[in-house]
Amino acid sequence: MNKINISAIVMAISLAYSVNAMAENMSKSEYKATEKNIVAEYKVGKTNCDSFAANAKDICMAEAKGKENVAKAELDAQYKPSKKATYEVSVAKAEADYAVAKERCDDKAGNDKDVCVKEAKAALATAKADAKAQLKSSKANATAREETSEARIKAQEKGSEARQDAAATKRDADYAVAKEKCDALAGAAKDSCVADAKKRFGK
């Protein structure tokens, strides 16, 4: 049992060192070369979108741009690792997914389209809230490791607050989707739907 634990610890430490080494070993010229490749890949992807028309082309363009933005964020996180850089990668991924989802909504009409857009916005808000909560928690935990037990308690409180903020953001986004779905109804059915949504999400 102890052997397994020791092996696991050694492996974790080795992995941490190798990640740091990889970041430290990336020179400015390597960073610039990789960045050029990312831009070149985006241009190829953009050119490939020319074979599509109308909204299919818009979706393709959004996918290509999103891929470029995520790759750049990941490159920055590799070149200069930090909690903020990791957060920026999560945000870039969320925004890339949202841009594509929003374009896909253009294939719909009326209330279906409205609901689709609200759902895309809700997914974006949720992903960003989760990333923010993770960033706040990891920063607070890092500070706590360096300070006293009082700081650790404060770190836990900050982490809890961050999670509560994230939950509130998600609840608001989900309520907006539920309310939008009610617009497909009329009269008493719509009123009942809105009342149910308010009750469900504490509005």
pLDDT of residue 134: 86
Q: Is the dihedral of CA 155, 161, 164, 170 positive or negative?
A: negative
pLDDT of residue 54: 93
The CB-based long-range contact list for 97-102 (8 Å cut-off, 24+ gap) reads: 97/66, 97/123, 97/124, 97/127, 98/123, 98/124, 99/62, 99/65, 99/66, 100/59, 100/62, 100/63, 100/66, 102/62
Q: For residue 129, give the nearest of 103, 155, 167 by alpha carbon.
A: 167
Tokens of residue 111, six digits: 């209330």
pLDDT of residue 147: 58
107 CB-contact burial (10 Å; exposed 0-12 / middle 13-18 / buried 19+): middle
Distance of CA 116 to the CA centre of its chain: 18
Cα(47)–Cα(57) distance, integer angstroms = 10
Query: Does pTM top 0.85 for this prediction?
Result: no
Q: Are 120 and 102 in contact (CB under 8 A)?
A: yes
Question: What are the pLDDT tens digits along the chain (203 aa)?
Answer: 444 444 444 444 444 444 444 445 678 999 999 999 999 999 999 999 999 999 999 999 999 999 999 999 999 999 999 899 999 999 999 999 999 999 999 999 999 999 999 999 999 998 998 888 888 877 666 665 655 666 666 767 777 777 887 788 888 888 889 889 999 888 998 999 989 888 888 88
